Amino acid sequence: MKPLKLNIILVLLALTFSACNSKKNNQETVLYQCPMHCESDKTYTDAGHCPICKMDLQSLEPSTSKTENTHSIPEESIFNLTSDWNTEEGEQIQLRDLKGKTLVMVMIYTSCKAACPRLVADMHNIEAKIPDDKMDQLNFALISIDPETDTPERLKAFAIENYMDEPQWTFLQGTESGVREFANVLAVKYKQISPIDFSHSNIISVFNSQGELIHQQEGLGVDNKETVASILKQLK
């Protein structure tokens, strides 16, 4: 059931949210599927019986899964963004793949000499205050504002160098427009001031498992008490 549901949701999401492909989808062919999933995700165009368990096939109505889908991603969730990202492990993901865990996010770039090491330290300080047994409910994501330089390899090297190679750390390389869009969602400002340098605002953002912004910490080396409290409140 699970992979199927996920697939349907993903397909629908792709249809609903991709910027320009959302013209009305007129051809709503109804598909049928065995309720027991005897042939895993196999679908039929006609109603009938499952050849294996002989049960009546059930129709997969797009409308029902659609309500499910809008229900599962809140309106203000960052999982509504459809941009593609590469992780430091070389995987291609969309932000909604991070769903289900509390997210702590910051925008950095690896060639940064001034603010980023301090932002990285701030992230470490927050991480240090999370009990170890709750760590699997958290994702710390560092997003590069310099996608051209910060390739997955470079991000991986940065992760190792800064002791951020455990599973709870994720580094993301986007596209220029994807990064710009994401920064706008976080209200982060940045500008390339020379080929290797950016000015940027220093904001650490906390999202709940549904991708809704619940807290932002602004500035460098500030007291992270509120940020940590907002994270702990999300954890079970």
Partner 1 sequence: MKHRTFYVLTIALLFHTLGFSQTEGMVFIKGNRYIPLYGRDSTVVEVKDFEMDIFPVTNSQFLEFVKQYPKWQKSNALKLFTDKSYLSNWENDFELKSSEKPDSPVTYVSWFAAKAYCECQGKRLPTVDEWEYVAMADENTRDARIKPDYNKQILAWYEAPRTNENSIGQLPKNIWGIYDLHGLVWEWTLDFNSVLITGESRKDVDKDSNLFCGSAAVNATDLMNYAAFMRYAIRGSLKAKYSIKNLGFRCVKDINK
Shortest gap between Cβ of 41 and partner 1 (angstroms)? 27
Is 180 a binder of partner 1 (CB under 8 A)? yes
Does 218 help bind partner 1 (rule: CB under 8 A)? yes
Integer Cα distance of 204 and 215 in angstroms? 8
Q: Which of 95, 126, 143, 183 binds partner 1 (CB under 8 A)?
A: 183
| Residues 110-129 within binding reach of partner 1 (CB under 8 A) | 114-115
Nearer to partner 1, 77 or 170 (CB): 77
As measured in angstroms, the least distance from the Cβ of 129 to partner 1 is 23
- Spatial neighbors of 2 by CB under 8 A, at least 6 apart, are none
Instruction: Give me the least distance between CB of 175 and partner 1, in Å please.
Output: 13
Least CB distance from residue 64 to partner 1, whole Å? 19
Q: How far apart are CA 101 and CA 140, in angstroms?
A: 10
Distances (CA, A) of 76 to 4, 71, 80, 84, 185: 26, 12, 8, 19, 10
Apex 19 CA angle, 214 and 178, nearest 5: 55
Residue 236 found at the interface with partner 1 (CB under 8 A): no
Binding mask 9-48 for partner 1 (x = CB under 8 A): -------xx-xx-xxx------------------------
Q: In terms of Cα–Cα distance, which of 83, 74, 68, 79 is closest to 9?
A: 68
CA 86 to each of CA 65, 69, 97, 234: distance values in angstroms, whole numbers, following the listed order: 28, 24, 12, 26
Q: Does residue 206 touch partner 1 according to CB under 8 A?
A: no
CB contact set of 28 (below 8 Å; sequence gap of 6+):
62
DSSP alpha helices (H): ranges in 52-175? Answer: 62-72, 115-128, 152-161
Q: Which is nearer to partner 1, 80 or 168 (CB)?
A: 80
Q: Write the DSSP symbol of residue 218.
A: E
**Taking contact as CB under 8 A, which single stretch among the options 53-61, 154-162, 213-221, 226-234 is the one that binds partner 1?**
213-221
Q: Which residues would be at the binding site for partner 1 (CB under 8 A)?
A: 16-17, 19-20, 22-24, 75-78, 80-81, 114-115, 180-181, 183-185, 187-194, 197, 199-203, 218-220
